[in-house]
Every structure is written in C-alpha cells, then in structure tokens.
Amino acid sequence: MTKPFHLAWFNSFAPPAWASPFAGDAGNEWFTGEYHVDIIKQMERAGFDFIMFEDSTFVPETYGGSSEIALKYSQHAPKLDPMALLPILARETSHIGLVATASTSFYPPFILARLMATLDHLTKGRVGWNVVTSSEDIAAQNYGMDKLPDHDVRYEVAEEFVDVVKQLWDSWEPGAVVMDRETGRYADHTKVHPIHHRGKHFAVRGPLNMPPGPQGHPVLCQAGGSPAGRDFAAKNATAIIATNPVISKMKEYREDIRARAEKFGRDPDDIKVLFQVSPVVAETSEGAKKAHHQRFGALSHAQIEQTLAGISSTTEIDFSQFDLDAPFPQDLKTNGHQSILDDFMKRNKGKTLRESIEERSQFGPPIFGTPAECADRMEEIVEEVGGDGFLIMSPSTRRYIDEICSGLAPELQRRGLVRTSYPQPTFKQNLLGH
C-alpha cells in the first residue's frame, strides 16, 4: 500500500493561459486577483497542501537579445507581486497553505521578516516563503547592481539572510504579549530583545517591531539543485520543489536531500520533496493520449520559441543562436542556474536541440489518461521514489484546474492517497502531519 502523499500547485501572479480556447476573460481579469481566488478554492476542496507563487522581477531579454518573444507570449513577464495577493487568498480560504517567493538578493532581511510575519498573522498560520537567491543579472540591474554575486556567494548570502530572519522572528519570546487590563500593560519589554546582528553581509539591530505569527517560523520552501543549493535546502527547507523527468533520478535526488538533512541533524521526514508534474487528464484514455501529444509531442513553432525563450531567461544564454537540428551544445557556462544548465547539457548529449526541447517542454515524468490511469501512474511513481508528493505545473485555465481538482484529486482521495481534511491548525503542521 502506497503511503499518502502531498499535492501542491505551482503558480505565478501572472496572466493565465489567456489565448487558450478555455481562457474566458482571464487575459483581462487576472490583475485583480479574482481569478486566483477562484482557483485556490478548487485546490482547497481537492486537498492540496499549498499553492506556491514563483516570482521574478525582470522582463527577459536574453532570447534574441530583446524582450519581443517574452512579451509576445507573456513569458516570465508580466508578474505582479505575489505578497499582495496572499492576504486575499487567505481571506477566501481556511486551510490551504500559501507560499510566496522572495529573493535573498533583493529584499532587506528586516522587510522580508516583517512581511512574512505579517502574512503569518493574516493567514492565521498558513504562510510559506519560497527562498530564492535569484540568478539573473538583468534582475539585479533593476535593483541597482551591475551583476549578482557568484553562485556560491549567493548561497552564502542566503544562509546569513535566513539566519537573520529567523533571529528576528524569535526576537519576541513566547508570552511577551501579556495584555493585562488591570495594569494597562500590553507587552513585557523584558521578553523582547534586539538581535544586534553584525555579519559579513548584513547588519540588523532588531527586534522585529511585531510578535511572530502562529507558526513562529513560516514554512520555508526551496528548490536547490546544485550542491550548495541542496545543502541549503536540506538545512532550512520544509518543502522542496524538484524537477526531473526520470524516476530513478527523482529517487536519487530525494535520498540525497534526506541524507544531507540527517547530516545537519534534522529528521528527514521533516522535509517533503515535491516533484513537478503536468498531468493531462481526460474522460477517455484515447482523448488523454491525444491531448498529451498535442501539448508535448510534435511542437509547433510557437511552442518551440516559447520553450527556448524560457530556457534562455533561466540560463541567461541566448538559445536563438543555435541551430535547432545541430547537436546540443556541450560547453555552456552561466552565472545563472548552472545546475539546470549542466543537467540539461548532460541529458541531451548526442541529441539535437529540437529533440531535447520536446523533453524539456514538460517538467516531470509524463502522466496522462483518465483520472484513474493518472492516479495509477502517480501511485507507482511515489512507490518508486519513496515520497513525498507532487507539484502540479501547467498553463492555467479554470477548465484545467477543474480537471485536476474535480477529476484527478477526488480519485486520489478515494484511494486514500491525498488528504480529505486538514486536521491541524497550521500549514506547517498539516504538511508534516504533527
């Protein structure tokens, strides 16, 4: 019997699939957050642990040296600030976790600590922070820097950043708020402490000017692939998001993270590794197979362009310069996501670029079929990998979300593989089951 696993949804505060035949008016209405209110209610009904909003803060110009393709397909831009969306989503739901991405390269730690603590109050203990270090110099230039520090230095900064933020969350002892009507005493100043942090990258006096929220420390989420990133994730994260289409590699990755966590003195079960998948669900097997082929097989010119533009902005290498039918280049270097690039080169040795992007256009192992068939496949994958669940990622329409939330998820719930209730008061406790 496969043990139950977790579901989460990977999202952006960005235009949904506006040109899809089932887009409705999403192209215009997404700005207000109402679209996201609708979809998160579906996800909560379907037993999702959380919705995660990835984020970035630039308009890509790597592909072809201009923003033309990125803006044509609304790819990586525009994105609105997910922090402002979270309170609305919290107001309209009761249990599901809400994760926003924020970069340790661009926020002052005091602002981020305060923002997350405020959101933890506003969500009543349901907020998470997806920690990213950012990898694009073009984003750094928006924030007044010429370029980002080197990859490993960014992780060093991130370590100190997370340390400072945790100190700020701990700067009010439990019981600091006394609220004594008799003496008129609201809080006890002997339980509120400056942190006086003076490190290599940050100096922060503290204390935080507010008590921490119900979770104390919000859930930390991370997506480290490189050795430095994996160590960071194993040390700090409660949820890890990972991308790999090969099941044996998924297993290897999860085991590596768990081993590293143990090395840092953590219980490996306190880290949930969630793998990106893009299930294609239909009423019949045939229909699903066809839909899957349409989405990921024989790519159209537009799909190829979008995929290459996406890779270009993540790796900061202009893929428009390569011949689609020549062998995949093997000597690429970036100060961006080097681990993604290395993995990408290694996996595609001997293939042409065109062949490689067919695989790249989907983020995890192929899953398609009727709800029962997809559930079978997901069950098998978790059985082989060992845990801990999936992060659904797909162009967003209400119809697709409904296929997952009213088709696939109920099937998984019937099998006892996905939660039907949220027994604990906070996101972190629900995720960890204690």
Partner 1 sequence: MSADPFHLAWFAADGFGVKSWGKTFSGRGGQDWADPALWIDLAQALERARFDFIIIEDSSYMPDTYGGTSEAYLKTATATPKMDPSVLAPLMSHATKKIGIVPTMSVSEHHPYGLARTINTLDHMSQGRTGWNIVTGSNDNAAKNYGLDDWLEHDERYDMADEFFDLACRLWTSWEEDAVVLDEATGTWGDFTKVHTVDFQGTYFSSRGPLNAPQSPQGLPTFVQAGGSPRGKKFDARAANAIISGVEGGPAKMKAFRDDIRAQAALAGRSPDDVKVLYLISPIIAETDEEAWAKRRRQTEFAEAHPEIGLLHLSRHSRIDFSQWDLDEVIPEGTTTNGHRQQLEQCIGKTPRQILREGFGQGNFEIVGSPDTVAAQLDEAMEEVGGDGFLIASRDLNRRYISEIADGLVPALQRRGVVREEYSHDTFRDNLLAF
Interface with partner 1 in residues 361-380 (CB under 8 A): none
Closer by beta carbon to partner 1, 107 or else 322: 107
Is 247 a binding residue for partner 1 by CB under 8 A? The answer is no
Q: What is the rounded CA–CA span in Å between residue 26 and residue 356?
A: 31
Give the whole-angstrom CA distance, residue 72 versus residue 168: 42
Q: Is 189 annotated as a binding residue?
A: no
Number of residues counted as binding partner 1 (CB under 8 A): 73
Could you say which of 51, 98, 119, 240 contacts partner 1 (CB under 8 A)? Answer: 119
**Among residues 186 and 264, whose Cβ is nearest to partner 1?**
186
CB of 80 vs partner 1, minimal distance in Å: 4
Residue 434, interface with partner 1 (CB under 8 A)? no
**Beta-strand relationship, 197-198 and 203-204:** antiparallel
Among 40, 43, 51, 83, binds partner 1 (CB under 8 A): 83
Report how far residue 165's alpha carbon sits from residue 412's, in angstroms, rounded to the nearest whole number: 37
- Structure tokens of 373? 């068939």
Residue 186 assigned to a binding site: no
Instruction: Count Cβ atoms within 10 A of the Cβ of residue 418 and give its class: 0-12 exposed, 13-18 middle, 19 or more buried.
Output: buried
Query: With CB under 8 A as the contact rule, which of the stretches 14-22, 251-259, 273-281, 330-338 interacts with partner 1?
Result: 14-22
101 in a labelled binding site: yes
Distance (Å) of CA 377 to CA 228, 278, 431:
32, 12, 23
Does 218 sit near partner 1 (CB under 8 A)?
no
> What CA–CA distances, in Å, run from 269 to 8, 126, 258, 383?
17, 20, 8, 16
Rounded to 5°, the CA angle 104-170-50 comes to 60
Kindly state whether residue 13 participates in binding partner 1, applying the rule CB under 8 A.
yes
Q: Which of residues 273-332 bind partner 1 (CB under 8 A)?
A: 302
**Residue 155 assigned as binding residue:** yes
CB-nearer residue toward partner 1: 41 or 351: 41
Report if residue 200 touches partner 1, rule: CB under 8 A: no
Q: Is 134 annotated as a binding residue?
A: no
Residue 153 touches partner 1, criterion: CB under 8 A = no
Q: For residues 236 and 132, what is the distance between their CA atoms, to the nearest angstrom?
A: 12
Separation CA 428–CA 215 (nearest Å): 7
Identify which range of 42-50, 75-83, 317-325, 359-367 contacts partner 1 by CB under 8 A: 75-83
For residue 220, the one-letter residue type is L
Annotation: binding site:
55, 101, 151, 155, 226
Binding residues for FMN: 55, 101, 151, 155, 226
